[in-house]
């Protein structure tokens, strides 16, 4: 395992496309609710949102790393493949969450508090926590929890 982290590992660890889709809804909501656009606040919202959602996705992958080894769909993620250590992934998750919360605090305290209490991937209301293909909560093949790939 190396301490060099490629951009592709970061994108996979943070589930960057999913992260962007979650943050996009905040971006649209900002325009729907704002009477005037404050581009500095909009930057804080987008950057902070990307960092907080990314952090949540990293935490999820840390928690699920042993189970991810068991399922074909997830066994090529960076942690099961040992492309990054759990300790380094944890550092990135914490750093990302803290910086993201600072950005949200720069908007205002209420936004930071709401961002800190945002449901993470383990929560059913979060897109990453919803039933995915291969998930035993409603997807196709059984999830790795207690099941082997068939």
Confidence of residue 15 (pLDDT cuts 50, 70, 90): very high
pLDDT for 16-56, tens place per residue? 999 999 999 999 999 898 899 999 999 999 999 999 999 99
Angle, alpha carbons 113-116-117 (nearest 5°): 90
pLDDT single digits (tens) 117-127: 855 544 434 44
Length of the chain: 150
Nearby residues of 124 by Cβ (< 8 Å), 6 or more positions away: 130, 137
Q: Which two tokens stand for residue 58?
A: 């990293």
Note whether residue 21 is domain-resident: yes
- Is 2 part of any domain? no
Residue 76 lies in a domain: yes
**137 inside domain:** no
- Measuring CA to CA, which residue among 92, 70, 97 is closest to residue 105? 97
| Domain around 80 | 7-129
Q: What is the largest CA-CA distance in the chain?
A: 54
Whole-number pLDDT of residue 118: 57
pLDDT for 81 equals 93
Give the model's pLDDT for residue 46: 96
Task: Find out whether 47 and 103 touch, Cβ atoms under 8 Å.
Answer: yes
pLDDT, tens digit, 9 for 90 and up, residues 75-115: 999 999 999 999 999 999 999 999 999 999 999 999 999 98
Task: Check pLDDT > 90 for residue 1.
Answer: no
Residue 144 included in any domain = no
User: Has residue 90 been placed in a domain?
Assistant: yes
**How many structural domains are present in the chain?**
1
Q: Does the structure show a pLDDT above 80 at 134?
A: no
The overall pTM is greater than 0.85 = no
> The CATH number of the domain where 114 resides is what?
1.10.357
Alpha carbons within 13 A on the beta-carbon side of 113? 3
CA distance 90 to 142: 27
Whether 142 is covered by a domain: the verdict is: no
Quick check: 68 and 144 in contact, CB under 8 A?
A: yes
Residue 98 in any domain: the answer is yes
| CA distance to 34, 57, 88, per residue, from 46 (Å) | 15, 16, 24
Band the pLDDT of 66: cuts 50, 70, 90: very high
pLDDT band at 138 (very low <50, low <70, confident <90, very high): very low
Closest CA relative to residue 74, chosen from 145, 2, 3:
145
């Amino acid at each position: 395992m190396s301490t060099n982290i490629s951009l592709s590992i970061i994108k996979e660890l943070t589930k960057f496309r999913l992260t962007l889709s979650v943050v996009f809804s905040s971006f649209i909501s900002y325009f729907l609710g704002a009477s005037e656009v404050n581009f500095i606040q909009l930057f804080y919202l987008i950057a902070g949102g990307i960092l907080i959602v990314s952090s949540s996705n990293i935490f999820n992958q840390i928690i699920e790393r042993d189970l991810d080894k068991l399922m074909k769909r997830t066994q090529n993620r960076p942690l099961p493949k040992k492309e990054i250590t759990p300790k380094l992934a944890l550092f990135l998750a914490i750093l990302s969450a803290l910086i993201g919360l600072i950005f949200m605090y720069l908007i205002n305290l209420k936004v930071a508090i709401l961002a800190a209490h945002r449901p993470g991937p383990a929560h059913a209301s979060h897109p990453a926590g919803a039933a995915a293909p291969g998930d035993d909560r409603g997807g196709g093949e059984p999830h790795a929890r207690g099941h082997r790939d068939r």
